[in-house]
Amino acid sequence: MPFSTYKKALITGASSGIGAATVERLTQEGIEVHALARSAEKLAELSKKTGCIAHAFDVTDLEKLTALCLEHEFDILVNSAGVDRPGSILKADAEGIDALIDVNLRAVLQLCRLTLPGMVARDCGHIINISSIAGAYNFGGNSTYHATKSAVSMLSRQLRIDAFGKRVRVTEICPGRVATDIFAHVHGDSEATYKNYIEGYELPVAKDIADAIAFAIDAPIAVNVGHMEITPTMQVPGGLQTTRPTDV
């Protein structure tokens, strides 16, 4: 379904990283892009640069989400907003668990609920969910993050069943490490953070993910790109560890 089929897109987490890059990419295709994020200042800059329509509020604000989706018929939904608080469940706190569930999962579910029925009725639409390799592979810590991204992965497959028989496509994008400012948001914007997660690595950048999203959207109507795992060439997810009990 080429870009010319679609008129309006809603992109969350749009003020930086993959979300902002996707706003730039889709506006280049003549789509009316609605960019949603908390930072009014960053959205204003993005709007000036791309012509997108800015909506500065939290993606967890259901009242405002509902009003926005009632006002506009979105043909494309990109769920890019996400947060993380590293740590295993042994060290998790209630506030952190709720924050991750609210942004990474609940907001995604609500936006799908608000937009998918219209897409089905119009026989036209595309939902893109940005999950993570953390939804498919286990690694140290980040227990709640793994759980929310795994749920988004399952939801993405389920949405295709819900819309079966209609020309509504669903794509799950699963990035590995990408050179964005997410590490600064999680670990603090410092030289140490940059050295630990970015410096010296050959990493995809946000534009690479946005181009992958554009590829999926621009595929022919008969093609649904359901799942894309995008990692650095030099990153391998998974692994096997064995240890001895500490009481021996």
Residue 119 one-letter amino acid: M
- Active site residue ranges: 145
Residue labelled with tokens 């022919």 = 220
Report the C-alpha gap between 88 and 237 in whole angstroms. Answer: 18
Report the C-alpha gap between 162 and 137 in whole angstroms. Answer: 26
Please answer whether residues 131 and 172 qualify as being in contact, where contact means their C-beta atoms are separated by less than 8 angstroms: yes
Please answer whether residues 120 and 166 qualify as being in contact, where contact means their C-beta atoms are separated by less than 8 angstroms: yes
Please answer whether residues 140 and 87 qualify as being in contact, where contact means their C-beta atoms are separated by less than 8 angstroms: no
